[in-house]
Amino acid sequence: MQRNRLADEQPGDPHVTTSDSLVFSPPAGSAMLRPDFLFGAATASYQIEGAATADGRHPSIWDTFCRVPGAVHNADNGDVACDHFHRWQSDLQLISDLGFDGYRFSVSWSRVMTVDGQRNEKGLDFYKRLLDELERRGLKSFLTLYHWDLPQHLQDRGGWLNRDTATRFAEYADLMSREVAGRVSAWTTLNEPYCSAYLGHTTGRHAPGLKDVRYGVESMHHLLLGHGLATEAVRANDKAPVGLVANVCAMVPASDSPKDRRAAELSYANANTWVLDPLLLGTYPEELAELWPGVKAPVRAGDMATISTRMDYLGINYYFRSNIRSDGAHGYVEEDLPNVERTQMGWEVYPDGLRDLLLDFKHRYPGLPPIYITENGMASDDSPVAGRVADEQRLRYLNRHVAAVDQAMRQGVDVRGYFAWSLLDNFEWSYGYEKRFGLVHVDYDTQVRTPKDSALALKRFLEQRRG
């Protein structure tokens, strides 16, 4: 087994040297400086685990999608990824060594349940061992049930276009919450249903690769219904908090014209309130009727009450802002703003958007639950030089975004934790292994982990915070 550098190198070794000028530092007086504010790192099962056929795991929609010619950059796939399935102990050691308070990860549905819906003992044991080790190390465990990797056999029966998949998801949630009750700090039902519905069923950029607005609307409804049913199932078995994670995006109109302002409002509804309104208000936003004329969610009696069942927390994933102009009809197009800082993904770096969205949500949703920033980070073209990975832009990015979160907190938004995306460089979905979001560099040939300068700056901050 390959080792990680932080655990192996001794103080003073050049592999762990970084400039003292690189500092992670929330604003003075911030609530983030208190020990009860949670700092963690996040991952997802298909992006890091590998071991695609180990111990009875069967294919997910991403295993299938990766085999579609042209679907994923360089025809990459998650068969090996970061080999976390075999290296999880050293990866948890890495999380401890970096000083994090918690770890957000997801379970592979295909690993823990068989095709006929029965428990897979070996797959369950993997996550039980992981949870037990997190507890032994004093790390909070934020377990996500669904991070986009639907079992392929369910997709073969319609996937999220089939209402029955919501019921199957609740059965999976019931199994997991019975099996690991008392071991989980917080449950997440769905990660970013917008990406599953819109990218997976409307634009086809993600698995299962479908391209129809109606498919996006139908799959979103069944995803949210699955969330409500799964929330009820988890609560029947465990007392840990239950929530959902939504990705959100800031919007700015390309001009002050009424058409561009309306286009930005429609884009905001698509990216943000399409998910949040049903969860927190029990209704879909009215802008959707203008955005997609004649397309309606397949709502049945009682669905919206189930979808809007109380959440104990809301996870927010934020990365960038979009510049929006009207397409001259019912929709909008995105245009790049000139002369702005961008990441390797081409996304604009705009920390104020996170603050503004948090404040918007506080005003729009009177019953807004406590918030965790469950993903925030950036991709950069990182490579080790003499054992060091200099990623100053990432550290600036993180510092500016935690400052934006602090500004929202000072104006009354209840934020209780922040998870950096991601712990490790990993399989970045349709971008394959080209984009590197990790705090820790992964050499995919050797599986050597090298903490980047940003990770080491976070480590120093967390050590100082603990005194």
Active-site residue set: 192, 375
The answer to whether residues 59 and 115 touch, using CB atoms and an 8 Å cutoff, is no
The annotation status of 10 as a binding-site residue, yes or no, is no
Q: How many CB atoms lie within 10 A of CB 70?
A: 7
The answer to whether residues 117 and 171 touch, using CB atoms and an 8 Å cutoff, is yes
Q: What is the largest CA-CA distance in the chain?
A: 65
The annotation status of 147 as a binding-site residue, yes or no, is yes
Residue 418 burial class via C-beta count within 10 angstroms: exposed 0-12, middle 13-18, buried 19 and up: buried
Q: How many CB atoms lie within 10 A of CB 450?
A: 23
Strand 38-42 relative to strand 415-421: parallel, antiparallel, unpaired? parallel
The annotation status of 444 as a binding-site residue, yes or no, is no
Helix residue spans in 108-244 (DSSP H): 109-112, 121-136, 152-155, 164-179, 193-194, 200-201, 213-237
Q: How many CB atoms lie within 10 A of CB 10?
A: 7
DSSP class of residue 32 equals: G
Strand 186-191 relative to strand 242-253: parallel, antiparallel, unpaired? parallel
The annotation status of 429 as a binding-site residue, yes or no, is yes
For residues 46-58, b (16+ Cβ closer than 10 Å) or e, as one string? bbbbbbbeeeebb
DSSP class of residue 161 equals: G
Measured distance between the N- and C-terminal CA atoms of the chain, rounded to whole angstroms: 34
The annotation status of 89 as a binding-site residue, yes or no, is no
- Any idea which residue has 């399409």 for tokens? 274
d(CA 422, CA 84): 14
The annotation status of 15 as a binding-site residue, yes or no, is no
d(CA 219, CA 160): 5
The answer to whether residues 453 and 390 touch, using CB atoms and an 8 Å cutoff, is yes
- Any idea which residue has 């009875």 for tokens? 56
The annotation status of 191 as a binding-site residue, yes or no, is yes
Strand 332-334 relative to strand 313-326: parallel, antiparallel, unpaired? antiparallel
Instruction: Output the known binding site for substrate.
Output: 47, 147, 191, 319, 421, 428-429
